[in-house]
């Protein structure tokens, strides 16, 4: 790390730390190493991301199950360690925002070499659930994709429960749903995970009011 630490004296530097069942316990050592390597606190941001078991990621015992409460606990314990050691920390991967798939009129699409359009960056296979037209054929659909109706169609339980996490969840990641649940027309509920993270962050804010400002959500 010493080779790169000098950059942080002139530039903003983000260091991503992948959390697994194994690496969580080593995070304290990692932040100590940042000091030893001479990273400049003013310009250095530590970014946490839990590594999850998904179909395109060969499962390992130390990976977290998607949206598991264990992953939420790992985020919170490492955030606490970073704040106590006076490092800026980003949890931008904790609440993954609605993605390009949820845009009725997307600002971003992927175009395959043969002209077919995928509405979603992780699914580039011509899957009809993610198909968004053909720039060499019929072009892009003029009337939108019906995304709003699709999401609302999946959200019966969310509405009934008046789930406060709907704006950041929107019934879950369509790519994950397709891989793990074999359909995009369903909800992948992460409410226990969200609640665990929020209660952990509330406790941190109460305990570390001054340092909490260094947290980037």
Least Å from the CB of residue 190 to ligand SF4: 5
Q: How far out from the chain centre does Cα 97 lie?
A: 7
Q: Which residues on adjacent β-strands are paired with residue 215?
A: 89
Please name every residue paired with 98 in a beta bridge, in sequence order, or none if there are none. none
Q: Which is nearer to ligand SF4, 69 or 134 (CB)?
A: 69
Q: Which of 106, 132, 172, 200 binds ligand SF4 (CB under 6 A)?
A: 172
Kindly state the smallest distance separating residue 27's Cβ from ligand SF4, in Å. Answer: 27
CA 61 to chain centre: 20
83 lies in the site for ligand SF4, by CB under 6 A: no
Please list, in sequence order, all residues whose beta carbon lies within 8 angstroms of the beta carbon of residue 215, skipping any fewer than 6 positions away: 79, 83, 88, 89, 90, 91, 201, 204
From 19-27, 75-83, 105-113, 155-163, give the range in contact with ligand SF4 by CB under 6 A: 155-163
**Rounded CA gap, 24 and 195, in Å?**
20
Among 17, 95, 131, 166, binds ligand SF4 (CB under 6 A): 166
Interaction of residue 95 with ligand SF4, rule CB under 6 A: no
Among 178, 190, 196, 214, binds ligand SF4 (CB under 6 A): 190
DSSP per-residue string spanning 80-110: HHHHHTT-EEE-TTTSPPP-GGG-SS-S--E
Residue 161: how many other CB atoms lie within 10 Å: 13
Interface pick for ligand SF4 out of 169, 173, 184, 201 (rule CB under 6 A): 169
* 165 sits near ligand SF4 (criterion: CB under 6 A): yes
Which residue number, 82 or 187, has a Cβ lying nearer to ligand SF4?
187
Rg of the chain in Å (alpha carbons): 20
Piece of 5-13, 45-53, 85-93, 185-193 that binds ligand SF4 (CB under 6 A) = 185-193
Using CB under 6 A, pick the residue from 52, 84, 93, 191 that binds ligand SF4. 191
3 state DSSP class of 20: coil
Contact set with ligand SF4 (CB under 6 A): 157-158, 161, 163, 165-166, 169, 171-172, 187, 189-191, 194
């Amino acid at each position: 790390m010493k080779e790169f630490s000098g950059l942080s004296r002139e530039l903003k530097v983000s260091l991503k730390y992948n959390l697994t069942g194994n690496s969580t316990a080593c995070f304290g050592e990692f932040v100590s190493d940042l000091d030893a390597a001479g990273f400049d606190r003013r310009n250095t941001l530590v970014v946490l991301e839990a590594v999850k078991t998904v179909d395109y990621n060969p499962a390992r015992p130390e990976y977290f199950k998607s949206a598991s409460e264990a992953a939420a606990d790992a985020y919170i314990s490492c955030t606490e360690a970073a704040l106590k050691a006076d490092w800026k920390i980003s949890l931008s991967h904790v609440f993954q925002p609605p993605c390009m798939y949820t845009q009725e009129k997307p600002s971003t699409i992927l175009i395959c070499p043969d002209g077919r359009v995928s509405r979603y960056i992780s699914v580039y296979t011509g899957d009809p659930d993610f198909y968004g037209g053909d720039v060499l054929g019929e072009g892009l659909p003029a009337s939108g994709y019906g995304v709003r109706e699709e999401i609302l169609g999946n959200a019966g339980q969310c509405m009934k429960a008046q789930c406060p996490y709907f704006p950041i969840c929107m019934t879950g990641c369509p790519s994950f749903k397709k891989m793990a649940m074999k359909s995009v027309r369903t909800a992948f509920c992460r409410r226990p995970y969200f609640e665990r993270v929020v209660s952990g962050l509330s406790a941190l804010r109460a305990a570390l009011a001054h340092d909490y400002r260094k947290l980037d959500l």
